[in-house]
Amino acid sequence: MNFDFSDDQKQLRDQARKFLAEKCSPKAVRVVLDGKAPYDRELWKGLAEMGFLGVAIPEEFGGAGAGHLELCVIAEEMGRANAPVPFSSTVYLAAEALLIAGSEAQKKKWLPAIASGEAIGTLALFEGKGNPSPKNVKLTAANGALNGVKKPVPDGAIADFAVVAARTGSSGRDSDISLFLVDLKAGGVEVKSLTNLDPTRGQAEITFKDAKAEPLGSAGEGWSILTEVLDRAAVLCAFEQVGGADRALEMGRDYALDRIAFGRQIGSFQAVKHMLADMYVSATLARSNSYYGAWALSTNAAELSEAAAAARISATQAFQHCAKNNIQVHGGMGFTWEFDCHMYYRRANAMALGLGSLSYWEDQLIDRMRKKNAA
């Protein structure tokens, strides 16, 4: 047993941290936050040049072929920097779906484009309210054409292609769902930007009217592929959340050291110290479950389904907890637009919903634990 990242992986994390500190300052994030750009194009290009976009994509498809542990350490840094780029939708969702289910031709077409930063991808799953469930997929696919509306689609307004979950049957079983690849720049696709909690990552409504689509994976396999994609993305997002939680904790800690009230540093008051200690506890728990998730993800272990749900739960709770208490430590200044606290508060709460809500993952964890206990 060795429950830690390797020295090379830690070096990669340092490299990513340094790169993002330089190219993704809070000032740069604010350009997107303030609506002056839909995402940070320069940063996206830079991430491609660093090899970060394709770190887990095999070399034969234009990636670095490193692996998922390497992707995890980069994800942590993306979260820490609150990077305003479509990293999670392109890399954790679209690329993972292609890696799991794509044909040779599909992989050849899209994976090198992802790794080089030329293509932005996403997953179009949700149709309004509700959590991931075959029942909630109404959009239909027939004769290679899609009809229906997806929202919210993460980074939908800037994406070049989408993996779309569509209904291809009406038996009431998971096998009613199939996945399709759609070129969003082609005809029959209408994209509308939606305002959302976290403007540094866009959300969109996409209307498909006889949009041309090619199957991704076998017909009727959609839901099982999606389940795996969501599990993998849950682990990768958990690393982003852990990075964000750590950063929020650091901001709170730094402010508590800096701010003087009643003639002393506010960090010397136990009420403040204990709040920060509790933030550290939740961030640590989240990190540990995420590490276990990383191991399961990187080894394709059977434990992935339970590990992913536990990592997702802890990381969601930790990021929300740290982001909200970071504002509390900052007092009134934490509630200004000028201070960066709200960027993490927004990101934490948006991420808590992105792959399905906390209660959805709690449900998943219990189901998966029961299945394991029964086995």
Partner 1 sequence: MNFDDTPQEAAFRETARKWIDANAPKELHAELSKSSLGRIRLAGRDIVEVGKAWQKKKADAGWACLHWPREYGGRGATPIEKVIWQQEEGVYGKLTQPFQIGEGMCGPTVMAFGSEDAKRRYLPKLASGEEIWCQLFSEPSAGSDVAGLRTRAEKKGDDWVVNGQKIWTSGAHYSDYGLLIARTDPNVPKHKGLTMFFLDMKSPGVEVRPIKQANGMQEFNEVYFTDVVIPDSQRLGAVGEGWSVSLTTLMNERMSIGARLATGVPEMFEFCSNLMLEDGLAIDDPAVRSKLASWAAKSNALKYTSYRTISALSKGERPGPENSIGKLVSGMMLQDIATYAMDLQGAAGVLTGSDEETVQGQFQQMLLSSPSMRIAGGTDEILRNIIAERVLGLPGDIRVDKDVPYNKIPTKGR
Footprint of partner 1 (CB under 8 A): 1-6, 69, 249, 253, 256-257, 264-265, 267-268, 270, 272-274, 276-278, 280-281, 284-286, 288-289, 291-292, 294-295, 298-299, 301, 309-310, 313-314, 317, 359, 361-363, 365-366, 369-370, 373
Nearer to partner 1, 41 or 264 (CB): 264
- Shortest distance, position 206 Cβ to partner 1, whole Å: 31
Residue 149 sits at φ, ψ, to 5 deg, of: -130, 135
State the amino acid at position 79 in one-letter form.
G
Nearer to partner 1, 133 or 359 (CB): 359
Degrees (nearest 5) of the Cα angle 42, 239, 202? 45
Q: Identify the residue whose tokens are 């740069």.
A: 28
DSSP state of 127: B
- Shortest distance, position 311 Cβ to partner 1, whole Å: 8
Nearer to partner 1, 77 or 205 (CB): 77
- Shortest distance, position 251 Cβ to partner 1, whole Å: 12
Nearer to partner 1, 184 or 238 (CB): 238
Q: Which two tokens stand for residue 7?
A: 């020295």
CB 293 within 8 A of CB 308: yes
Question: What is the torsion angle, in degrees rounded to the nearest 10, for the CA atoms of residue 135, residue 136, residue 139 and residue 143?
Answer: -30
Tell me how far the alpha carbon of residue 154 is from its chain's centroid.
9
The candidate with the shortest Cα–Cα distance to 314, out of 355, 354, 362, is 362
- Shortest distance, position 353 Cβ to partner 1, whole Å: 16
CA distance linking residue 139 with residue 162, whole number of Å? 14
Nearer to partner 1, 139 or 245 (CB): 245
Nearer to partner 1, 10 or 41 (CB): 10
Q: How many Cα atoms within 13 Å fall on the side-chain side of residue 160?
A: 11
CB 106 within 8 A of CB 221: no
